[in-house]
Amino acid sequence: MAEWTRENIAENTVSRRIMFILLVASVVFAALFFRLAWIQLINGETYRTLAEQSRYVPRPVAPRRGGIYDAQGQPLAISVTTASFFATPREVVDSGQAKEIADQVAAALELDSETLLERITDTKRGFVYIKRQVPDGPAAAVKSLGLKGIHWEEESERVYPKGTLLANSLGFVGLDNTGLGGLESSFNSLLAGQTVAVLAEQDKNGQRSAGVAQRTTTAPVDGVDLILTIDEVIQYICERELGKVTELYSPEKAGILIMEPQTGRVLGMAEYPTFDPNNFGQYDEQNRRNFLISDVYEPGSTFKTVVMAGALEEGVTSLNQEYGCDGPVRFPGGMMVRCWRAVPHGRQTFMEGIQNSCNPVFIAVGQEMGKELFYKYLHGFGFGQKTGIDLAGEADGLVLPQNKCQDLDLATMSIGQTTAVTPIQLLTAFGAICNGGRLMKPQVIKEIWDAQGNLLETVEPEMTRQVISQTTSDLVLRALETVVSQGIGKTAFVEGYRVGGKTGTAQKVVPGVGYSEQEFVASFMGVAPVNDPQIVCLIVVDYPKGDTHGGSAICGPVFQAVAKDVMSYLEIPAQVAPALVKATSLEEVTLLDYVGLTTAAANSQAAAQGIEITLVGDGEEIYAQLPLAGDQMLRGGTVVLHTRLPKVPAAPQIAVPELTGKTAAEVAKIAAAYDLHFDLAGQGVVMYQQPSPGSMADAGSRVFVGLEKPLEAGVLEDLAGP
């Protein structure tokens, strides 16, 4: 056996080390091979998915939003495709022409060049919007420049072709294609369709890269189209007349509602104030409210139609039954409710009480009904609950619980106070009264179509319940016709047609104080024709300014103008029997301008035209008229003229003192130093005053002062009237 030398031992050691290294390497490479095989063959699809997810980010792209059209198919809200421009800052900087690019884009899109330059060169961001939803002209200008780093994508923009028309009911859409009010909100899920998800490439920092989306992961579904029951022409008529009355009286708000009583379909819904949904951000939230369904108010005498219907249905009274109006109606505790007229009406039938809108008559009828029957019809006609109209934001209204209703409450409810309603509730109930007692669910949607033009649904009229009989409905319509032909609603007379209606003038409630003596809600509720009701209409004018606040003077002429044009548009035949028409012919005349004339000259001019006039005020000079000069009217029609009071020396102005927190005794001491009349209500310390402290008032005028607690007894001033 050979002797091991040191050299041999060294070689053998090296060989073993090499073998060990090779073995370890083989094991490592085998492990890597098996790991690679595991990744590629076994979990390859999983890792490919993860890699793709890290490279691409899903980005939602909205489909075409469905349109909203009127009953005749005229577009009210549509979506158009527009270009939205964005930049990739790294590309802009690498071009070496960042300043030139910013200048050109800013000029085309009307942006500030320096601000834009700062944004599109911020390389910390992979993507930055320049401007979204750019009109065609400027968009084409930017596209034609072919600037490096400037890109665009197609987006949907909501457009309202008619501007402010029906705006409060339509609502509006934000930049994210979400409905934010009205029908746009109520039907947002249907109008918006199903959003498309696309995968857009992003860089290592998670910033979106420019370029075309790589893949669509879901199929787009465009939104549906809504066909409304509202007619564009009828809506225009309503808004035209609403504009006239708001210009004349400068109210806080005003509205007109028109409905088909047989179906509950809303034909027109005009409101003031309003807004342009194309530029909704420029308006206050108050302008965007649909107060006709969301705000409550005490309706006053228009509510007497409900009392009338229930009492006649139950047989507790008849149109010929006699009642007295001899002064305030007294209640236990010393409280009294007065009629709206200073001189009592005296003895009168129920029919005459309806024509006169006499409060004591309706208080007596309410007492004859009793709480149980009264609440039967209060709930039967739908007060205190939503009507179910297909619009967002509807209010329930406010009804005093029956177990808390006292005799005084029943009296005030009988004349339209205490119960707070929404305009849509009141007109829906009135529609039932005029429709043989059938309460219909109000609706603004007639049909729903898909994007391919297929009819998906026709919204059929829906009856909620039968409230009164056809016989009672006919009796009420007969009475309402006499209100217009013989009673206080003559200003609503429409020549050639049989129309009926009820006026209303309700005192506004001052929170924590009671009923205001200065603020009123004027209204008129009408039906035409009464022998075959085709339309019911409610006009509401909240806090009109000027020398009159009555529903007859303010809202009657509005109904006359609206009903006349709407019935003409709907081709409802005129009823020209001599017994139904006051005029000797159906000839139309153009109203002259009465403003500035004396009452004598106005009478002479009206007689020459064959026009009747109703004077409002005690002055000798005309300062306003409704309908306006230039409007068309049949001979024999009525125009309302407002008189300017005789000129007298201006009363000195006095600053109203601060009374809040003072006792009645302290107010009395302060009053001695002022030439003002202070009317105190309640007891305790002053919580409210009107006019407000510091405002200027004429010497001798009244200041209403509300104290902390109501009086135990006194007179409930009911200034509301026809």
Q: What is the tens place of the pLDDT at every residue in 577-632?
A: 444 444 434 567 788 888 888 888 888 888 888 887 877 777 788 877 777 788 77
What is the reported pLDDT for 155?
A: 72
Of the candidates 108, 132, 166, which is a domain's last residue?
166
3-state SS class at 551: helix
Same structural domain, 503 and 612: yes
**Which residues lie across from 520 on neighbouring strands?**
507
pLDDT at 391 (0 to 100): 92
Q: Which domain holds residue 33?
A: 8-42
Mean pLDDT of 536-547: 92
Same domain, 616 and 673: no
- Dist CA 70 CA 600 (whole Å): 47
Report the largest interatomic distance among the alpha carbons of the chain, rounded to a whole angstrom. Answer: 155
**460 in the same domain as 559:** yes
The mean per-residue pLDDT over the stretch 507-518 comes to 71
Flag whether 711 is in a domain: yes
Given the residues 79, 169, 301, 485, select the one marked as catalytic. 301
pLDDT for res 329: 85
Domain count for the chain, please give it. Answer: 4
Can you give the CATH number for the domain in which 135 is found?
3.90.1310.10
Domain annotation covers residue 700: yes
Mean pLDDT for the stretch of residues 372-387? 96
> Would you say 707 and 684 are in contact if contact means Cβ atoms under 8 Å apart?
yes
Residue 346 included in any domain: yes
In a domain, 227, yes or no: no
Last residue of a domain, one of 644, 670, 698: 644
368, 430: one domain? yes
Q: Where do we find the tokens 């490279």? A: 55
CATH number at residue 437: 3.40.710.10
**Tens digit of pLDDT for each residue in 712-722?**
334 444 444 56
The arithmetic mean of pLDDT across residues 525-551, rounded, is 92
Judge whether residue 215 has pLDDT over 60.
Answer: no
Ranges 32-46, 185-199, 460-474, 589-603, most confident: 460-474
Q: How far apart are the first and last CA of the chain?
A: 139
Supply the pTM of this predicted model: 0.73
For residue 3, the model assigns a pLDDT of: 56
Q: Catalytic residue at 301? A: yes
Is residue 122 located within the same domain as residue 256? no
> Is 106 inside a domain boundary?
yes
- State the CATH number of the domain containing residue 709: 3.30.10.20
Residues 564 and 699 grouped into a single domain: no
* Shared domain check, 106 and 80: yes
Can you read off the two tokens belonging to residue 296?
């409550």
Q: What is the pLDDT of residue 73?
A: 92
Question: Quick one: 336 and 428 in the same domain?
Answer: yes
Contact in structure between 414 and 377 (CB atoms under 8 Å): no
pLDDT, mean over the chain: 82
pLDDT at 64: 81
Q: Which residues pair with 524 in a beta bridge?
A: 503, 539
> Among residues 118, 134, 166, which one ends one of the domains?
166
Using the predicted structure, report yes or no on whether residue 213 has a pLDDT greater than 60.
Answer: no
Which tens digit of pLDDT belongs to each residue from 298-354?
999 999 999 999 999 999 999 999 999 887 888 877 777 878 777 788 899 999 999
Task: Please write the tens of the pLDDT for every residue from 15-36.
Answer: 777 887 888 778 878 777 777 7
Same domain, 553 and 676: no
Measured between alpha carbons, how far is 308 from 695 in angstroms, rounded to an integer?
43
What is the pLDDT, as a whole number, of residue 712? 39
> Do residues 338 and 434 both lie within one domain?
yes
Q: What is the C-alpha to C-alpha distance for residues 692 and 710, in angstroms, rounded to an integer?
A: 20
User: Which of the four pLDDT bands, split at 50, 70 and 90, describes residue 512?
Assistant: low
Contact between residue 429 and residue 303 where contact means Cβ atoms under 8 Å apart: no
Give pLDDT tens digits for 412-458: 999 999 899 999 999 999 999 999 999 999 999 999 999 888 999 99
As a whole number of angstroms, the distance between CA 70 and CA 569 comes to 15
**What pLDDT, in 10s, does the model give residues 382-412?**
999 999 999 988 999 999 999 999 999 999 9
- pLDDT, tens digit (0-9, with 9 covering 90-100), for 38-49: 767 676 666 666
- pLDDT of 172 reads 93
Rounded distance, CA 716 to CA 328, Å? 9
pLDDT attached to residue 367: 94
Residue 415: strand, helix, or coil: coil
The answer to whether residue 307 sits within a structural domain is yes
What would the mean pLDDT of 247-255 be, rounded to a whole number? 93
Strands (E), 88-149: 128-134
Q: Is 213 contained in some domain? A: no
Same domain, 542 and 670: no
Query: Does the pLDDT at position 233 exceed 80?
Result: yes
How far apart are alpha carbons 355 and 488 in whole angstroms?
6
- Which pLDDT value is given to residue 140? 85
Q: What is the mean pLDDT of residues 198-220?
A: 53
In a domain, 49, yes or no: no
Asked if the model's pLDDT at residue 566 lies above 90, the reply is yes
pLDDT for 495: 80
Question: What Å distances lie between residue 628 and 68, 559, 636, CA to CA?
Answer: 33, 14, 16
State phi, psi for 596 to the nearest 5 degrees: 95, -15
Same domain? 416 vs 503 = yes
Stronger pLDDT, 4 or 487, i.e. the higher one: 487
Model pLDDT, residue 591:
82
Q: Looking at residue 217, what is its pLDDT?
A: 54
More confident residue, 209 or 281: 281
Average pLDDT over residues 101-116: 87
Of 90, 49, 91, the C-alpha closest to 215 is: 49
